[in-house]
Amino acid sequence: MSDTQLPQGDPKGQDSGVHPAHSGPTGAPTPMADRPDTASTDDQSSAHQVAEAAAQSSTEPKPVENEYDGADRETQPAPSHDVPESFNVTVIVRRYDPEVDDEPRWVDYDVQMYPTERILDALHRIKWEQDPSLAFRRSCAHGICGSDAMRINGKNRLACKALVKDFDISKPIYVEAIKGLPLEKDLIVNMEPFFDSYREIQPFLQAASKPEKERHQTIAQRERFDDTTKCILCAACTTSCPVFWTDGQYFGPAAIVNAHRFIFDSRDEASQVRLDILNDKEGVWRCRTTFNCTDACPRGIQVTKAIAEVKQALISGVKL
Amino acid sequence: MAETSSVTDGIHYHQHDVLIIGGGGAGMRAAIEAAPKASTAVITKLYPTRSHTGAAQGGMAAALANVEEDSNEWHTYDTVKGGDYLTDQDSAEILTREAIDAVYDLENMGLPFNRTPDGKIDQRRFGGHTRDHGKAPVRRACYAADRTGHMILQTLYQNCVKHGVEFFNEFYALDLIMTETPEGKRVAGVVAYELATGEIHVFQGKAVVFATGGFGKIYKTTSNAHTLTGDGVGIIWRKGLPLEDMEFYQFHPTGLAGLGILLTEGARGEGAILRNASGERFMERYAPTIKDLAPRDIVARSMVQEVLDGRGAGPNKDYVYLDCTHLGAEVLETKLPDITEFARTYLGVDPVVERVPVYPTAHYAMGGIPTNNDAEVLADNETVIPGLYAAGECACVSVHGANRLGTNSLLDINVFGKRAGNNAVAYAKTADFVDLPADAADGVVKMLAQLREGTGTESVAEIRKALQETMDRNAQVFRTEETLQTALADIAKLRSRYPNVRIHDRGRRFNTDLLEAVELGFLLDLAEVVVVSAINRKESRGAHMRDDYPTRDDVNFMQHTMAYRTAAETGASQGIRLDWKPVRVTHYQPTERKY
Ligand SMILES: Cc1cc2nc3c(=O)[nH]c(=O)nc-3n(C[C@H](O)[C@H](O)[C@H](O)COP(=O)(O)OP(=O)(O)OC[C@H]3O[C@@H](n4cnc5c(N)ncnc54)[C@H](O)[C@@H]3O)c2cc1C
Ligand code: SF4
Ligand code: FES
């Protein structure tokens, strides 16, 4: 196998990595050509392409006798911090501070980026090196906490999972807050309406009996709702839904996904309650199957399918 | 039930029986106990479901014996030995005994654990967990694919919704109010900053539970979230209360090389193997019996040793490989789907067909706020502060000793989170509110004003980066007097620059610029305690590996470090006094640690 180049490699590269991995359509904001999961598989080779050649690390490790030897070491090794070849990207962020701005405004930033970095790194570089007032949410930085859903080139993505190399970097990358929730500042929206819808579908197991140990569930029964347990409540789906944009009362895909998670859990006894809630005029029937939600979901959840299964359950009952 | 709120001079005042600081696993587990019985508020700087418990992958230990013979006692032994005999053994007994119910509690609350063919909770192997005192690896980790922490966090939040727990989301606790009463020091409440508005809130409470998580951001390469800045531990420290065993910081063997993003030990539990550049399974040399499933301190050290000896892989020979290729696509996609995707997304490496470059990443704080087995915070080796509790990664009971076993932290947050919640309610039922001093909010108001109005030119990001770099270089897997002194000198320089940081965002709303500066203050305080404690421990034990003192020294050092802050003002260095606390031994006398 070939050696994999790490995020911080060595500068003497053979291939600059300035070429775009994919070229998206033109126009601004530009929708991106690929979804992250498809992109990540077929970009495996480009990760290697942009790899730089090796140069011997200057702090060559000294051989030591055994695991407890080596008191003469000066410092310990860490992945080397030499700089791989970088490129410049223009990131255009829709900024808004209600304390000073009447209207949101697009602001350009030129950012130096490395091939393995993500849009979140670009935002951090802007915040940490150019304009510390830029406001956005983030925490885990690897797609698990759901803090940093935003609209990137017109598509909802987690900034921490959107790799720069997957964009056409010869053009600017547009970043703005997710749509349909009240804009608070820069990339931050008010999440309360989103969580309100979630809480309304009674997202907790309801079962009368209290077993002594665990409730039993077969592997197949567990598999039935596995997909929808992955949800991290990032709101990427709900805020990519055209129905939600025009009708803020609509429960939205995320709430339905979480209802699905319980409706199809063999241990739960309140499926009908949730189905009744979703039978509301602002419930599942508003879904027009545009698939935006499925495309947006960073967890790869088949959101549209989950909604269809809930609709089906309303028509013909829950089949576990 | 007491529950009121009002505004005076622009400051909001609230009153609740129980205040829980932190909405991660430990905080929400406490809230589920407290909220049904007393007025409870959870103050959390993140939306609860954003907490880093959600990043935990591999599993939660409990000797359910669902798939093979197991016992609490074996689990206790492993925990004590894994902790290199610094574990308090009575605490470990509680942890492993209450583990069973902790898992059933979660299942009953709805957690979708993976199942055995007969419908029970499935279990898998994990590092350092063994059958019959080290004979062979045992299947003890209960799991939900490789998103066990995610499912725990979601399940706990779901049950908080069920119980109508009141959350103050995106509120940053910045100070603890303690009052001298005739009976000694008592907690009166907490001061918090509301991110959305920039307003200050004073919460009066009878009992306060700290559940604010770890502080991995003192390091550069870490599995921890950007928000894990040790605020809670820092607040306690600034109150003059001690911190325990801060030199013991765990490096997880398998971080994605160069990035630090974690690949769970569950991968090795499922059979993945570590290999050096030549493809050798090097753990056979370091831990002949349980090999790749040795505890983390040993595996991390062995990996660094391979690299030091020139057997590292890659262009710079600075990482080793995690080989999952023999597991097959099926196991990877069903039992380890998330980490498979992380490797694909972030390194462009497909674990199904390629070996994944890995290197140790800063992961878990064994040390923290000292508590007793009832989760009560200690003011010294014995004295409890009535009404003050801590649980989870911010606390040090100590069930993890010098090195935590994988899957014991998700267990810890559930067992001691529950204990903290129960005990806080019990206390609140009997105690009265302590009067708030008139100047309760002054400290926070002054600190924020100084930062906000400062005219210096230093950059928060630069100081933080320099701190993280020196910690990565000088206080990592291997340390010596010299490297630690270098770190200490660097930290002193950074601390003297800190008062001159410049805040660019002068606004009130969502001022994350200001909060990053506040968080940096905590990181600087804690990093110094870590380094000073590490200098003082002239032996090697668990995660604390001193090249200049390469062996364990039970005669002088089989005791916990207790660090106290002596100077009141923040300055170049804080004035730290170190003391010791005996380890509680019940059944297990220290022996040499071999695997
Ligand atoms: C990648 C990863 C994988 C892991 N895998 C496992 C595993 O498989 N098994 C295992 O046992 N352990 C694992 N661990 C360890 C374990 O997940 C953590 O130690 C544990 O989840 C910590 O829980 P906590 O509740 O103490 O803290 P967290 O979940 O981190 O929660 C901290 C809470 O405190 C709040 N907070 C912080 N500061 C403030 C403040 N100033 N004001 C208000 N609120 C504040 C935050 O908002 C957050 O809600 C893993 C850890 C990581 C990083
Ligand atoms: S379904 Fe997917 S996109 Fe929607 S909130 Fe959950 S994780 Fe986010
Ligand atoms: S920062 Fe957690 S999902 Fe992106």
CATH code at A312? 1.10.1060.10
CATH number at residue A147: 3.10.20.30
Give the DSSP H or E segment for B410: helix B408-430
Ligand 1 centroid from CA B213, angstroms:
5
Residue A200: C-alpha distances to residues A197, A260, A312, B43 (Å): 5, 13, 21, 22
Residue B346, chain A, CB below 8 Å: the answer is yes
Pairing of strands B576-582, B249-256: unpaired
Residue B287, chain A, CB below 8 Å: the answer is no
Residues A184 and A200 in one domain: no
Tell me, using a 6 A CB cutoff, whether residue A138 lines ligand 3: yes
Does B296 participate in catalysis according to the annotation? Answer: yes
- Tell whether the model's pLDDT for residue A5 goes beyond 80: no
Residues A178 and A129 in one domain: yes
How do the pLDDT tens digits run along chain B, 595 residues long? Answer: 456 788 988 999 999 999 999 999 999 999 999 999 999 999 999 999 999 999 999 999 999 999 999 999 999 999 999 999 999 999 999 999 999 999 999 999 999 999 999 999 999 999 999 999 999 999 999 999 999 999 999 999 999 999 999 999 999 999 999 999 888 889 999 999 999 999 999 999 999 999 999 999 999 999 999 999 999 999 999 999 999 999 999 999 999 999 999 999 999 999 999 999 999 999 999 999 999 999 999 999 999 999 999 999 999 999 999 999 999 999 999 899 999 999 999 999 999 999 999 999 999 999 999 999 999 999 999 999 999 999 999 999 999 999 999 999 999 999 999 999 999 999 999 999 999 999 999 999 999 999 999 899 999 999 999 999 999 999 999 999 999 999 999 999 999 999 999 999 999 999 999 999 999 999 999 999 999 999 999 999 999 999 999 999 999 999 999 999 997 555 667 899 999 999 999 999 999 898 8
| Closest residue by Cα to residue A153 from A35, A31, A23 | A31
Tell me, using a 6 A CB cutoff, whether residue A137 lines ligand 3: no
Q: Is residue A82 part of a domain?
A: no
Residues A244 and A156 in one domain: no
Evaluate whether B284 touches B277 at the Cβ level (below 8 Å): no
From B314, B349, B473, residue closest to A75, measured CB to CB: B473
Q: Is residue A81 part of a domain?
A: no
- Shortest CA distance from A229: residue in chain B: B151
CB contact under 8 A, A4 and B347: yes
Beta bridge pairs of residue A156: A151
Residues A176 and A128 in one domain: yes
Model-level ipTM above the cut of 0.90 = yes
Q: Which atom of ligand 1 is nearest to the CA of B412?
A: 11
| Closest residue by Cα to residue A179 from A196, A167, A193, A165 | A193
- Tell whether the model's pLDDT for residue A23 goes beyond 50: no
| Closest residue by Cα to residue A184 from A124, A306, A98, A249 | A98
Residues A60 and A105 in one domain: no
Residues A199 and A296 in one domain: yes
Ligand 3 centroid from CA B523, angstroms:
21
State the total domains in chain A. 3
Q: Is residue A201 part of a domain?
A: yes
| Degrees, nearest 5: CA angle B260-B261-B265 | 100
- Tell whether the model's pLDDT for residue A54 goes beyond 50: no
| Residues from chain B contacting residue A4 (CB–CB below 8 Å) | 257, 314, 347-349, 354, 357
Residues A60 and A125 in one domain: no
Evaluate whether B520 touches B218 at the Cβ level (below 8 Å): no
Residues A174 and A200 in one domain: no
Residues A310 and A200 in one domain: yes
Where among A44, A73, A102 does a domain terminate? A73
- Tell whether the model's pLDDT for residue A295 goes beyond 90: yes
> Rounded CA gap, B120 and A113, in Å?
49
Ligand 2 centroid from CA A111, angstroms:
29
Q: Tell me the shortest Cα–Cα distance from B157 to chain A, in angstroms.
A: 9
> Rounded CA gap, B205 and B34, in Å?
13
Where among A73, A108, A123 does a domain terminate? A73
Q: Is residue A13 part of a domain?
A: yes
Residues A97 and A66 in one domain: no
Q: Is residue A230 part of a domain?
A: yes
Q: Which atom of ligand 3 is nearest to the CA of A143?
A: 3
| Probe target for ligand 3 pocket from A148, A231, A299, with the most ligand atoms within 8 Å of CB | A148
Q: Which atom of ligand 1 is nearest to the CA of B392?
A: 26
Q: Which atom of ligand 2 is nearest to the CA of A236?
A: 3
Residues A96 and A55 in one domain: no
| Residues from chain A contacting residue B311 (CB–CB below 8 Å) | none
Residues A69 and A167 in one domain: no
Residue B36, chain A, CB below 8 Å: the answer is no
Q: Is residue A80 part of a domain?
A: no
Domain that includes residue A267, residue range: 192-206+217-316
pLDDT for the residue A29: 38
Instruction: Read off the pTM.
Output: 0.91
* Active-site residue (options: B124, B140, B296, B419): B296
Q: Is residue A212 part of a domain?
A: no
Tell me, using a 6 A CB cutoff, whether residue A119 lines ligand 3: no
pLDDT for the residue A10: 35
Q: Is residue A157 part of a domain?
A: yes
Residue ranges lining ligand 2, Cβ < 6 Å: A 231-237, 253-254, 257, 296-297, 299, 301, 303
